Amino acid sequence: MSSWRIQPARAVRGRWRPPGDKSISHRAAILGLLAEGTTEINHFLTADDCLRTLHIVQQLGAHVEWRSGTSLAVTGVGRQPLQEPPDVLDAGNSGTTARLMAGVLASAPIFSVLTGDESLRRRPMRRIVEPLQRMGAQIDGREGASRLPISIRGNTLRAIQYVTPVASAQVKSCILLAGLRAAGITEVVEPYLSRDHTERMLQAFGVELEIQMGESGHHRVRLRGGQTLHACSLTVPGDFSSAAFWIVAALLLPGSDLIIEGVGVNPTRTGLLEVLASADVHLDWEQLDEQGGEPVATLRVRAQPLRAMQIGGALIPRLIDEIPLMAVLATQAVGETHIRDAAELRVKESDRIEAIATELRKMGAQIDPLPDGLRIQGPTPLHGAEVQSHGDHRIAMALAIAGLVAQTGETTIHEVECVQTSFPDFEQVLASLCVPR
Ligand code: S3P
């Protein structure tokens, strides 16, 4: 098991382009599989999670050819049936791979078994199994098919209208992907808008969707089954969730001046910027562009004083993956920060509420877990300590930022292999952007 030893830093400075977006890379590989023709993908995230999806896509009949380090071509099956996989499909640590692929598998006339690593096998699958069964898929698995491994006997499905109890892009995307080959119009209604990369990318592949925002914040997507996806060329924007670690480091370390280029700023992902704006923290946006239906910007971040933040409700899905990092930010903000309505954090790669509270306390933070969030008192000087990642990439990286902003002492973070799932170059980026004390 490897560890990181992090020293407090003076500042972060420089220009940097984040690696490709994880959510968008998964979707590019999956839609590439389903499309007619060859999809060219640039700036694909070559991290474990997305490589799992790519491997599964190949096991189902796509032809993948690498053009260079992060560019590849995926030739899809189009209207032909998916190939029945000769072996169990392993999603590793990746919830997105498991849940999105389940939708694809359920709508194909093949038998498959989907599994994952120890963490993924603990995570809830009923949320996708139940709607897929309602659409007519035969799914079996552990604990009444609520945990991986699951077996799926796919079928010609019937379209359903599904009102999801949680605002989850994985659930929404799973049902929409299943609906692509279902008879009739599939409709998904979510209580709040979750990330909409699937909707945007389906449109880039020529699929017609009907999208409505309800007055109470709920969101409705309708999709007619039987449409053909047409291959296209895509450049994956930089991952806002990876950029967020360096946004926070730059805000907290005096003297920082960081330019982040080519970062995706889809509003369903940038809740962190909304919260910062509500606390009078403003970043400069240098330009705006659009790639494959996704907005892309260059951001400039300099250190600024911070006030405590109140985070909950419809904002949560727009910053769900940034919450462990925002807990670090809140330790340095003046006042008491409350994060509520975020019980979903308990069923991520780890129980992120307990994990971040336990580990930041070891560094001197005043942080309390709540059933659905966190309460953090600031500003509190942090000190180096020996901490654990809980096998969770976002906990490991949030603790690394805490180690950089600590006033004194070295921070040792154990079990950091998990960072390979989303940001394999994190340590190199740290070395290139941080000015040592
Ligand atoms: C993701 C959706 C979110 C997010 C995850 C990636 C996606 O999960 O936390 O990191 O790519 O669709 P949920 O759908 O469980 O909220």
Pocket of ligand 1 (CB under 6 A): 23, 96, 168-170, 173, 195, 320-321, 344
d(CA 299, CA 404): 21
Q: Are strands 366-370 and 335-339 parallel, antiparallel or unpaired?
A: unpaired
pLDDT at position 217 over 90: no
| Per-residue b or e along 263-302, where b marks 16 or more CB atoms closer than 10 Å to that residue's CB | bbbbebbbbbbebbeebebebeeeeeeebbbbbbbbbebb
Residue with CA closest to ligand 1 atom 11: 23
Q: What DSSP line would sit under 172-195, residue for residue? A: HHHHHHHHTTSBSEEEEEESS---
Rounded to the nearest whole angstrom, what is the distance from the C-alpha of residue 35 to the centroid of ligand 1? 23
- Looking at ligand 1, which atom is closest to the CA of residue 172? 14
Report the run of H or E that residue 221 belongs to, with start and end. Answer: strand 219-224
- Looking at ligand 1, which atom is closest to the CA of residue 26? 11
**pLDDT (tens digit, 9 = 90+) per residue, 55-108?**
999 999 999 999 999 999 999 999 999 999 999 999 999 999 999 999 999 999
Rounded to the nearest whole angstrom, what is the distance from the C-alpha of residue 304 to the centroid of ligand 1? 30
Q: What is the mean pLDDT of the chain?
A: 97
Q: Find the length of the chain.
A: 437
Rounded to the nearest whole angstrom, what is the distance from the C-alpha of residue 368 to the centroid of ligand 1? 25
- Looking at ligand 1, which atom is closest to the CA of residue 168? 14
d(CA 411, CA 162): 46
Asked about 368 being catalytic, the answer comes back as: no
Pocket test for ligand 1, best of 170, 269, 347 (most atoms within 8 A of CB): 170
38-42: strand order across its sheet: 63-66, 72-75, 38-42, 233-235
d(CA 413, CA 359): 10
**Domains along the chain?**
3-20+237-436 (3.65.10.10), 22-235 (3.65.10.10)
d(CA 291, CA 161): 31
d(CA 378, CA 333): 5
Rounded to the nearest whole angstrom, what is the distance from the C-alpha of residue 407 to the centroid of ligand 1? 33
| 266, β-bridge pairs | none
Q: What predicted TM-score, i.e. pTM, was given to this entire model?
A: 0.98
Report the run of H or E that residue 417 belongs to, with start and end. Answer: none
Pocket test for ligand 1, best of 168, 326, 344 (most atoms within 8 A of CB): 168
**pLDDT (tens digit, 9 = 90+) per residue, 13-24?**
999 999 999 999
Give the closest residue to 198 by CA, choosing from 236, 172, 232, 178.
172
- Which one of the listed residues 21, 117, 321, 392 is annotated catalytic? 321
**pLDDT (tens digit, 9 = 90+) per residue, 142-164?**
999 999 999 999 999 999 999 99
Give the closest residue to 430 by CA, choosing from 1, 136, 5.
5
Give the closest residue to 411 by CA, choosing from 434, 383, 430.
383
Rounded to the nearest whole angstrom, what is the distance from the C-alpha of residue 40 to the centroid of ligand 1? 24
**pLDDT (tens digit, 9 = 90+) per residue, 296-307?**
999 999 999 999
- Looking at ligand 1, which atom is closest to the CA of residue 100? 12
Predicted pLDDT at 78: 97
pLDDT at position 402 over 80: yes
Q: Which amino acid is at 142?
A: R
Give the closest residue to 105 by CA, choosing from 49, 195, 30, 203.
30
Strand stretches in 265-329, DSSP E: 284-291, 294-302, 310-311
Q: What DSSP line would sit under 337-395, residue for residue? A: EEE-S-GGGGGSSS-HHHHHHHHHHHTT-EEEEETTEEEEEE----B--EEE-TT-HHH
- Angstrom CA distances, 35 to 133, 207, 336, stand at 25, 10, 49
CA angle 423, 321, 277 (to 5 degrees): 110
